[in-house]
Amino acid sequence: MECCICGKKAVTRANVDGVVLDVCSDCVKFGKAAPKVIMPNKQKQSFLPEMEISIKFDISKIVKSEREKMNLTREQLGIKLGEKESVIRKIEEGWMPPFNTVNKLEKFFKVTLKETTPDIKIKKHVKEELTIGDMLKIED
Ligand SMILES: [Zn+2]
């Protein structure tokens, strides 16, 4: 980590004109000392890159299959989660619910319905490495 102001080794972070920068011990005087841990969701336009958590694309399929595994109707699942039947239906039809609903579903089904976004690399890697032989193996 380099100091954003002079390029020397950064030792801390400081709030300089409202922007949190990595700074060295010399440049810390240019800003107010900022807390080291930046809480996610605090400010969307944060200067530092953050891991973004998103809801899994196939949440609708997961919810539907987990619900059917447990032999619950949409209404029964809704009651257990404190959600309306229409919310469950919308999720199964592909609607992305808010995180608090996702959290409830994860807890109830004991599954993961969220993912962190920088997974593009992995997917690309798999695609490049995949040969016809591999594809046959997967189908088995
Ligand atoms: Zn510096």
Q: Predicted confidence band at 85 (pLDDT cuts at 50, 70, 90)?
A: very high
How close is the Cα of 15 to the center of ligand 1, in Å?
13
Q: Which residue has the tokens 């404190």?
A: 82
* More confident call, 121 vs 75: 75
Asked whether 17 and 3 are in contact (CB, 8 A), the reply is: no
How close is the Cα of 12 to the center of ligand 1, in Å?
10
Residue 37 in this model has a pLDDT that exceeds 60: no
* More confident call, 32 vs 37: 32
The span from the CA of 84 to the CA of 87, in Å, is: 5
The pTM (predicted TM-score) of the whole model is 0.49
Averaged pLDDT for residues 107-117: 90
Task: Considering the domain delimited by 54-116, tell me its CATH architecture.
Answer: Orthogonal Bundle (1.10)
The span from the CA of 61 to the CA of 26, in Å, is: 54
Residues of the chain with CATH 1.10.260.40: 54-116
The span from the CA of 106 to the CA of 103, in Å, is: 5
How close is the Cα of 39 to the center of ligand 1, in Å?
24
Share of the chain above pLDDT 70, in %: 69
The span from the CA of 99 to the CA of 20, in Å, is: 27
- Listed residue (2, 99, 95) closest to 41, CA to CA: 99
How close is the Cα of 5 to the center of ligand 1, in Å?
5
How close is the Cα of 21 to the center of ligand 1, in Å?
10
Question: What is the per-residue pLDDT for 119?
Answer: 46
How close is the Cα of 2 to the center of ligand 1, in Å?
8
